[in-house]
Structure 1
Amino acid sequence: MTVPLVVSAVTVKDDRGEPVQLPTSAERVVSISTFGTDLLLALGMKPAAITRFGPFAQPDYLGDRLAGVPVIGSRSQVNMELLSEVAPDLVLAIRRYTEKDASRFAEIAPYAALNLVTLNDSIRAVSIAGELLGRAEDAEQINRQFQQQLETYRAQAPGGLSAALLVTGGEVPFIYYDHFLTSELLNWLNVDNVGGALANPEQGLPLGYRMRLEDLLQRDPDVIFLFASNKERAFTRNPIWPYLKAVRQGRVYEVGQHWKEAAGPIARSLVLQEMAYRLYPDQFAMPELPESLRSRRYN
């Protein structure tokens, strides 16, 4: 006797508070965010299509696991015609770049908008996506493992350091607030983020602000992490730059694009490990990364 297959509908609220309704768990998923691509691979699935990863066609830290997956534009400019041709049963998207086009996405497939700013956003997004994919328990296990990793690293990190996360090619660097996910990882490593706190961090945005080199020198971080920029960093030619403690002690590091887009479970773990190594090289090891993707000392 053949047992009939039971197909269960799925309804989950996304970060807009809107219900995302599926007749059954999603299988053909388009990722309009690095997060979705990262999570799908972490769950042993492959996206039906992806968007660009900064200047790259696909996330370099994920290696060749996306070979053959079509690229349908950037997260802020999705090619709707290509998206329609893919015929997805779910669109996993970063909210702040796509919400303006929510109705257009919904005409093609159910659309889930995710905030992806804070560590809690990342953890919640893993749970939301896990339910939509019919992999809720696997997703929760991923979150539990990362929480355990955070606790382990916090217990081992000596502390007593300050750090700054900087980005831009301009004269005045942009520095990230405490609630930005990568900044939160500093806190888990017992490091003071000199960018400080947003007055209302629950708002999510802005992610940070411009800080003059004079002000950065006053706070004088022990370590500086420079995020990827497609332009020469003009602020490093400022006469004040050489006087910063991190510069004098050779503790300024250029980091990969995944540090800026670290909400996915693979990315957030890699960033935590590499950050710990750069902060405390005697306590932590460099994670397994190709040489081309490793952070490097900035000269």
Structure 2
Amino acid sequence: MFRASGKGSIWVALIVVLLLLSGCGAGGAGKSANSGEATGTDKGTTDTQGATSTDSVRTIEHVLGKTEIKGTPKRIVTLYNGATDVMIAYGVKPVGIVEASGTEPVYDYLKKDLEGIPTVGLETQPNMEEIYKLKPDVILASKFRNEATYQQLSEIAPTVAVDQLYEWKDTVKLIGQVLNQEDKGTQLLADWDQRVADFKTKMGDRLPIKASIVNFRADHARIYYMGFAGQILKELGFTRPPAQEGDKWGIKVNSKESIPDMNADTLFVFNSGKDQAAIEKNVEAWTSHPLWKNLDAYKKKSIFKVDEVNWNLAGGYLSANRMLDDLYKLYDLKS
């Protein structure tokens, strides 16, 4: 990875000039063809329009450095889906978000809360001009996605970052600092810990269960190790096959001879991609193979199809709880 050079300052200055010339200055912030400002608020959600509430300056340390933040930010742009999810968990609407990964620009479970919120491009390629138009007080980023453009983002607004997208608890803590709501962040995590304990108690001696997470695409399969779902499964008392231990996200497999690498007592399976016909054809090719039928999970009838958004894409506090909801249902537990 690399950091942006001093050219970032020139680049941002050019944006300012262009915006002024096109009438998109202070009077038109956040109002473009696809990014009008949010209107109204939902019950229990704080409107993020307006100035900061105090003039005090705080310094927040994060993976990409130290950032000074003035007062309590009201206008926050989120550059990864997990941050958007966690903002809503805090009851605060961002003024701008990146498009959701997958087939829809906003995940279904967040549509009501994010209605009218403008998007600023893809998580993999946010639009700097659209971010600038929104005049954010703070930008929430990640080292994984935004390290190379961190300097440019910081010239638009104070920018703080987590390391990895799937480290959702780090996102909860960081946003608690940004919003001056660290007590609420502590409570959110305590509520999660209580649910984890409840799940483990109700599962009883069924745990530990050795599990694999398998993902089918249109032209290959993947085995996920310690990403978002992998971390949660480990916390809940599931174990992983020895070859799947470690910090690596997982592996991409093209040959069906790799099916034995998926072997576990339970398989959690989700599909990814827009070409549904090609994906289903690929799933059929893999799951009809003799090696698939030799998997322990197949023999035990313990293969579960799960939701890609909850288990992989959304990456936040609310989606972690939705994944846990899925597990309560799969194992016939009362939540």
TM-score, normalised on structure 1?
0.81
Asked if structure 2 preserves the Cα contact closer than 8 Å seen for 1:9 and 1:25, the reply is no
Q: Which residue of 2 aligns with 1:27?
A: 74
Q: Which residue of 1 aligns with 2:177?
A: 131
Q: Which residue of 1 aligns with 2:115?
A: 67
* Residue aligned with 2:230, SS: helix
* Counterpart AA for 1:189: L
Match of 1:101 among 143, 149, 162: 149
Structure of larger gyration radius: 2
For residue 247 of structure 1, report the CA deviation from its aligned partner: 4.1
* Residue aligned with 2:214, SS: strand
Match of 2:252 among 198, 205, 210: 210
Match of 1:144 among 165, 178, 190: 190
Q: Which residue of 1 aligns with 2:235?
A: 188
Asked if structure 2 preserves the Cα contact closer than 8 Å seen for 1:95 and 1:113, the reply is yes
For residue 85 of structure 1, report the CA deviation from its aligned partner: 0.6
Q: Which residue of 1 aligns with 2:101?
A: 54
C-alpha distance in structure 2 between counterparts of 1:218 and 1:100, whole Å:
35
C-alpha distance in structure 2 between counterparts of 1:88 and 1:21, whole Å:
14
Asked if structure 2 preserves the Cα contact closer than 8 Å seen for 1:273 and 1:284, the reply is no
Q: Which residue of 2 aligns with 1:291?
A: none
Change (3 A) 1:25 1:169: same
Change (3 A) 1:218 1:34: closer
Q: Which residue of 2 aligns with 1:252?
A: 304
* Counterpart AA for 2:260: L
Asked if structure 2 preserves the Cα contact closer than 8 Å seen for 1:153 and 1:188, the reply is no
- Deviating beyond 4 angstroms after TM superposition, the runs of 4 or more aligned structure 1 residues are none
C-alpha distance in structure 2 between counterparts of 1:130 and 1:108, whole Å:
22
* Counterpart AA for 2:107: P
For residue 215 of structure 1, report the CA deviation from its aligned partner: 4.2
Q: Which residue of 1 aligns with 2:23?
A: none
- CA deviation map 1:48-95 (0-9, x unaligned): 011111122112222311100001111111111111111111111132
Asked if structure 1 preserves the Cα contact closer than 8 Å seen for 2:269 and 2:303, the reply is no
- What 5-or-longer segments of structure 2 have no aligned partner? 1-52
- CA deviation map 1:36-59 (0-9, x unaligned): 211111111111011111122112
Asked if 1:272 is matched to 2:318, the reply is: no
- What 5-or-longer segments of structure 1 have no aligned partner? 286-299
Asked if structure 1 preserves the Cα contact closer than 8 Å seen for 2:214 and 2:262, the reply is no
Q: Which residue of 1 aligns with 2:221?
A: 173
Q: Which residue of 1 aligns with 2:46?
A: none
Equivalent pairs: percent with the same residue?
Answer: 21
Asked if structure 2 preserves the Cα contact closer than 8 Å seen for 1:164 and 1:224, the reply is yes
* Counterpart AA for 1:156: K
Asked if 1:40 is matched to 2:87, the reply is: yes
Q: Which segment is superposed worse, 184-193 or 70-79?
A: 184-193
Q: Which segment is superposed worse, 70-79 or 163-172?
A: 163-172
TM-score, normalised on structure 2?
0.73
| Number of aligned positions between the proteins | 269
Asked if structure 1 preserves the Cα contact closer than 8 Å seen for 2:144 and 2:165, the reply is no
Change (3 A) 1:103 1:92: same
Asked if 1:225 is matched to 2:271, the reply is: no
RMSD: 2.3
